[in-house]
């Protein structure tokens, strides 16, 4: 039958040889930088963040390699089921989730807390890649056909907004829109959607929570409340400027070590890094991130299956959005929205989901010769 794969399965040894080892080596490099940042954030101590970061990365790294060795057709078959399971977890958060800092975003599972909104960023990419894999060009141009993927994007975004978590909701919408563009949706439809969003801004503003409005107003004028809502971004800019070209030295950042810089282990980890290593150190880290994104796109472009191509490109897009939003946030280019810096900021679920997405990317590359039929019944 046309499109059906008849080639033999790869052996375990062949899969190991086929792994993208340059990409795999880049990942712990970023995690080690994160360990150093968290060690410095604690004033030169492995407690309470650095050692947990190392343990979580080690576990996540094993998960990443395990996922990488699983046939990409497995992820194709189960993409919808995994996505629906994530939606169930998001609903569970709204019912029995744990509160922290005024938000209900976590499920307490005893040994650890799970943040399903982070999982949604990965499972949404999987589900959209599965849906768009079967789409023909004549399907994509029909507006009615897009109702299903738009619902797939909108449902988790709304559930995340209820927590409330504006930053993650924006990321879900952005990565979902990016997947639709990669899937062949015409550019003018995005222009139309942008115009509709612009027209609805007054309504959106009226429904924002007070702290979300303050973030927007602070973004426009941080000096309006320098000791309150504007404190974070003002201290971040001071720290970035004090780093200069080569930085103030490891453990010598004035803003971070004297605790002027808030959330230095999570949202503002890159600020601490830039203060202590300067423009040079920050630029080198951004170059590492760029290489990761470039390799993700390279993996996607050489995949033989449309599902694998979309999945790899979606992982690269999702990761690049993480980096862009965090760096733009701490430099004052966009409002503070609480998006961590991948593999460097402290956070268990964010670390695990990033490494899981890398596992999917590597699975696409290991099985890049696999051709997935348009419909699962043909597998």
Three-state SS for 14-66 is HHHHHCCHHHHHHHHHHHHHHHHHHHHHCCCCCCCCHHHHHHHHHHHHHHHHH
Local confidence band at 54 (pLDDT 50, 70, 90 cut-offs): very high
Angle at 178 between CA 158 and CA 149, to 5 degrees: 50
Q: Concatenate the DSSP letters of all residues of 77-124 into one string.
A: HHHHHHHHHHHHHHHHHHHHPEEETTEEEEEE-SSSEE-HHHHHHHHH
Q: Which two tokens stand for residue 244?
A: 């200069």
Residue with the bigger pLDDT between 122 and 218: it is 122
Q: At 105, phi and psi to the nearest 5?
A: -125, -5
Separation of alpha carbons 82 and 334, rounded Å: 32
Separation of alpha carbons 272 and 267, rounded Å: 10
For residue range 108-120, list pLDDT tens digits in order.
Answer: 777 778 889 999 9
Question: Is the confidence at residue 378, as pLDDT, over 60?
Answer: no
Q: Which two tokens stand for residue 237?
A: 């800019």
Local confidence band at 227 (pLDDT 50, 70, 90 cut-offs): low
Angle at 280 between CA 274 and CA 283, to 5 degrees: 75
Longest dimension (CA), the chain: 68
pTM of the model: 0.90
Q: Is 338 helix (H, G, I), strand (E, B) or coil?
A: coil
Between the two ends of the chain, the Cα-to-Cα distance in Å is 10
The mean pLDDT value of the chain amounts to 87
Cis peptide before 221 (omega within 30 of 0): no
For residue range 253-289, list pLDDT tens digits in order.
Answer: 888 887 788 888 888 999 999 999 999 999 999 999 9
Cis peptide before 19 (omega within 30 of 0): no
For residue range 148-188, list pLDDT tens digits in order.
Answer: 999 999 999 999 988 878 888 889 999 999 999 998 888 77
Q: Concatenate the DSSP letters of all residues of 244-260 into one string.
A: TTT-S-TT--HHHHTT-
For residue range 300-346, list pLDDT tens digits in order.
Answer: 999 999 999 999 999 999 999 999 999 999 988 888 777 889 999 99
Task: Give pLDDT, residue 282.
Answer: 96
Local confidence band at 234 (pLDDT 50, 70, 90 cut-offs): confident
Contact 325, 350 (CB under 8 A): no
Q: Concatenate the DSSP letters of all residues of 279-345 into one string.
A: HHHHHHHHHHHHHHHHHHHHHHHH-SSHHHHHHHHHHHHHHHHHHHHHHHHHTTSS-----PPTTTS
Q: Is 332 helix (H, G, I), strand (E, B) or coil?
A: coil
Rg (CA), the chain: 21
Separation of alpha carbons 18 and 362, rounded Å: 9
């Amino acid at each position: 039958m046309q499109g059906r794969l008849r080639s033999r399965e790869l052996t375990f040894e062949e899969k190991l040889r086929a792994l993208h080892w340059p990409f795999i080596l880049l990942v712990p490099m970023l995690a080690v930088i994160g360990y150093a940042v968290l060690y410095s954030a604690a004033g030169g101590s492995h407690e309470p963040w650095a050692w947990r970061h190392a343990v979580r990365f080690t576990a996540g790294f094993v998960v990443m390699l395990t996922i990488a060795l699983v046939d990409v057709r497995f992820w194709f078959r189960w993409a919808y089921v995994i996505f629906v399971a994530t939606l169930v977890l998001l609903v569970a958060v709204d019912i029995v989730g744990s509160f922290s800092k005024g938000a209900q975003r976590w499920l307490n599972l005893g040994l650890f807390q799970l943040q399903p909104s982070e999982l949604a960023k990965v499972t949404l990419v999987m589900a959209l890649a599965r849906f768009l894999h079967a789409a023909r060009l004549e399907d994509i141009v029909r507006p009615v056909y897009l109702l299903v993927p738009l619902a797939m994007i909108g449902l988790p975004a709304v559930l995340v907004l209820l927590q409330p978590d504006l930053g993650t909701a924006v990321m879900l919408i952005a990565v979902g829109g990016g997947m639709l563009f990669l899937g062949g949706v015409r550019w003018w439809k995005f222009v139309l959607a942008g115009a509709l969003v612009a027209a609805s801004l007054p309504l959106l503003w009226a429904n924002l929570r007070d702290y979300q409005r303050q973030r927007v107003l602070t973004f426009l004028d941080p000096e309006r409340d320098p000791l309150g809502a504007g404190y974070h971004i003002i201290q971040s800019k001071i720290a970035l400027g004090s780093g200069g070209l080569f930085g103030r030295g490891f453990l010598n950042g004035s803003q971070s070590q004297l605790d002027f810089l808030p959330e230095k282990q999570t949202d503002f980890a890159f600020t601490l890094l830039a203060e202590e290593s300067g423009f040079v150190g920050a630029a080198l880290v951004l170059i590492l991130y760029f290489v990761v994104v470039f390799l993700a796109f390279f993996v996607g472009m050489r995949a033989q299956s449309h599902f694998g191509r979309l999945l790899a490109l979606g992982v690269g897009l999702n990761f690049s959005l993480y980096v862009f939003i965090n760096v733009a946030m701490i430099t004052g280019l966009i409002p503070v929205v609480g998006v961590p810096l991948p593999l460097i900021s402290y956070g268990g679920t964010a670390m695990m989901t990033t490494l899981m997405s890398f596992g999917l990317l590597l699975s696409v590359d290991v099985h890049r010769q696999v051709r997935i039929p348009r419909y699962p019944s043909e597998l």
